[in-house]
Amino acid sequence: MKSLGNIRRSFAPWADPQSKPFISFRNITKKFGDFTAVDNLTLDIYHREFFALLGASGCGKSTLLRMLAGFERPTSGEIILDGQDIAAIPPYKRPVNMMFQSYALFPHMTVESNIGFGLRQDGMPKAEIAERVQQMLKLVKLEQFAKRKPQQLSGGQRQRVALARSLAKRPKVLLLDEPLGALDKKLREETQFELMDLQQQLGLTFVVVTHDQEEAMTMADRIAVMSHGKVVQVATPAEIYEAPNSRFVADFIGDVNILEGSVKAAGNGRVELSGGDFTVRAVSDAAPAIGTSAAFAIRPEKLKVSRTAPADPAVNTSEGEIWDIAYLGDMTVFHVKLPSGKVVKTSMLNAQREVENPIGYDEKVWVSFAETAGVVLRD
Ligand SMILES: Nc1ncnc2c1ncn2[C@@H]1O[C@H](COP(=O)(O)OP(=O)(O)OP(=O)(O)O)[C@@H](O)[C@H]1O
């Protein structure tokens, strides 16, 4: 598995101008009556990519997936798959398969007949079906459950049957709509890793729809964050988390503190904001005009809470008072009230079991951060 990890690390076809996208949405719009569910959206997905569409309920992510599967027709725009415009190709002829949230397994059929269903419909010879079903059972580690009916399986096992069924026809692209929605947290996390392993073993392209940011962060090579039918940002999980391109994305993914200010200086790779509790000096390529308002987004774990003043208390530092403490086991979250009354969220890893004299309620503290710890947002 280690070698796969290494391959994965260097997998970034989107950054290579030579590589061609495998799936291209070009100016795709989908209207339902007057309502625009997908709004002039352009997006490229690469061969062997694990791609996640992430967004709040109603943002249009399932509609986009359904258009790729062929269950909905775009109102305008093109979808190119493997160099071919697929608009006129009916769903069953597309090299794409979709796994739904409600797995829709046939309750009266055994696991193996469920898996072989699509192959029988395609008229594949019996011996070949048997062989393919065996392969699939092995792949999802359900060999000993072949003769069971779906109701004799756990939720996670059912999910794997559905996965095996959608992979049996060897689609080039597997579409997954909230694939782990029915599983409890622990099983969900395990299954996320199983899905990633499977995708790598088979060398397929996966497009998954989810509203669960942790799930998208765990599994995907890249994430498209969607809002109101548009893509707001497409990037790797780390880029989305560390360099969100807007308040919307910063706020949507993980926890964030937004510090408002007005631009005092900008240039030479730095931006300075003043006016709030902090004088912010941040490493940034943004070039907002002097005097305009801007925001600085910083994650809780990047704010440092200390009892003594940091070296240069003039910048990136504020006094504050511990307002709330939440002990979460692996970390402790401090809410710190700043002089303006604004409360910021900070988190600290509990690297040791017991800490002598831990920071407590109502204590006066310093909150500080590094120049590279957050991002200046333009909007
Ligand atoms: N057949 C339809 N007729 C009318 N409106 C529709 C239809 N299908 C979807 N919509 C609307 O389009 C919008 C986007 O729906 P879509 O299912 O793509 O959202 P989603 O982001 O997948 O949300 P969820 O996570 O809740 O499934 C929603 O406002 C929905 O009500």
Is residue 55 lining ligand 1, measured as CB closer than 6 Å? yes
Domains in the chain: boundaries: 2-95+171-247, 255-377
Is residue 211 lining ligand 1, measured as CB closer than 6 Å? yes
Higher pLDDT, 214 or 188: 214
> 2-95+171-247 with 255-377: one CATH topology?
no
Q: Which of 38, 41, 53, 59 to mutate to test the pocket of ligand 1 (most atoms within 8 A of CB)?
A: 59
State percent of the chain over pLDDT 90: 66
pLDDT of residue 2: 39
Q: What is the dihedral of CA 184, 189, 195, 197, to 10 degrees?
A: -150
Atom 31 (ligand 1) nearest CA: 58
Angle made by CA atoms 81, 85, 91, in degrees to the nearest 5 = 75
- Distance from Cα 62 to the centre of ligand 1, integer Å: 7
pLDDT class of 101 with cuts at 50, 70, 90: low
Distance in Å from the first CA to the final CA of the chain: 42
Q: Is 70 exceeded by the pLDDT of residue 1?
A: no
Q: Is 50 exceeded by the pLDDT of residue 3?
A: no
| Inter-residue contact 175 to 97 (CB < 8 Å) | yes
Atom of ligand 1 nearest to the CA of 72: 1
- Distance from Cα 58 to the centre of ligand 1, integer Å: 5
Atom 30 (ligand 1) nearest CA: 58
pLDDT class of 167 with cuts at 50, 70, 90: confident
Is residue 34 lining ligand 1, measured as CB closer than 6 Å? no
Q: Which residues pair with 280 in a beta bridge?
A: 273
Higher pLDDT, 24 or 88: 24
Is residue 57 lining ligand 1, measured as CB closer than 6 Å? yes
| Inter-residue contact 53 to 61 (CB < 8 Å) | yes
Q: Is 90 exceeded by the pLDDT of residue 10?
A: no
pLDDT class of 102 with cuts at 50, 70, 90: low
Highest mean pLDDT among 21-35, 89-103, 207-221, 247-261: 21-35
**What would the mean pLDDT of 286-299 be, rounded to a whole number?**
92
**What would the mean pLDDT of 183-202 be, rounded to a whole number?**
84
- Distance from Cα 227 to the centre of ligand 1, integer Å: 12
As a whole number, the mean pLDDT across the chain is 90
**pLDDT digits 0-9 by tens, 348-358:** 998 888 778 88
**pLDDT digits 0-9 by tens, 105-148:** 899 999 999 999 989 988 999 999 999 999 889 888 889 999 99
**Superfamily designation of domain 2-95+171-247:** P-loop containing nucleotide triphosphate hydrolases (3.40.50.300)
Question: Which string of DSSP letters, residue by residue, matches 104-125?
Answer: ---TTS-HHHHHHHHHHHTT--
Atom 20 (ligand 1) nearest CA: 58
**What would the mean pLDDT of 211-235 be, rounded to a whole number?**
94
pLDDT of residue 140: 83
Q: Is 50 exceeded by the pLDDT of residue 261?
A: yes
Q: Is 60 exceeded by the pLDDT of residue 4?
A: no
Q: Is 90 exceeded by the pLDDT of residue 292?
A: yes
**Superfamily designation of domain 255-377:** Nucleic acid-binding proteins (2.40.50.140)
Q: Count H helices, E strands: the chain?
A: 9, 20
Atom 18 (ligand 1) nearest CA: 60
Count Cβ neighbours within 10 Å for each residue of 90-100 and write b for 16 or more, e otherwise.
eeeebebbbbe
Atom 11 (ligand 1) nearest CA: 37
**What would the mean pLDDT of 325-331 be, rounded to a whole number?**
92
pLDDT of residue 163: 86
Q: Is 50 exceeded by the pLDDT of residue 5?
A: no
Atom of ligand 1 nearest to the CA of 209: 22
**What would the mean pLDDT of 181-201 be, rounded to a whole number?**
82
- Distance from Cα 38 to the centre of ligand 1, integer Å: 9
| Prediction ipTM score | 0.94
> Hey, which bits of the chain come out as E strands?
23-32, 35-45, 50-55, 76-81, 84-85, 96-99, 173-177, 205-210, 222-227, 230-235, 257-267, 270-274, 280-283, 293-298, 304-306, 317-327, 331-337, 343-349, 364-368, 374-377
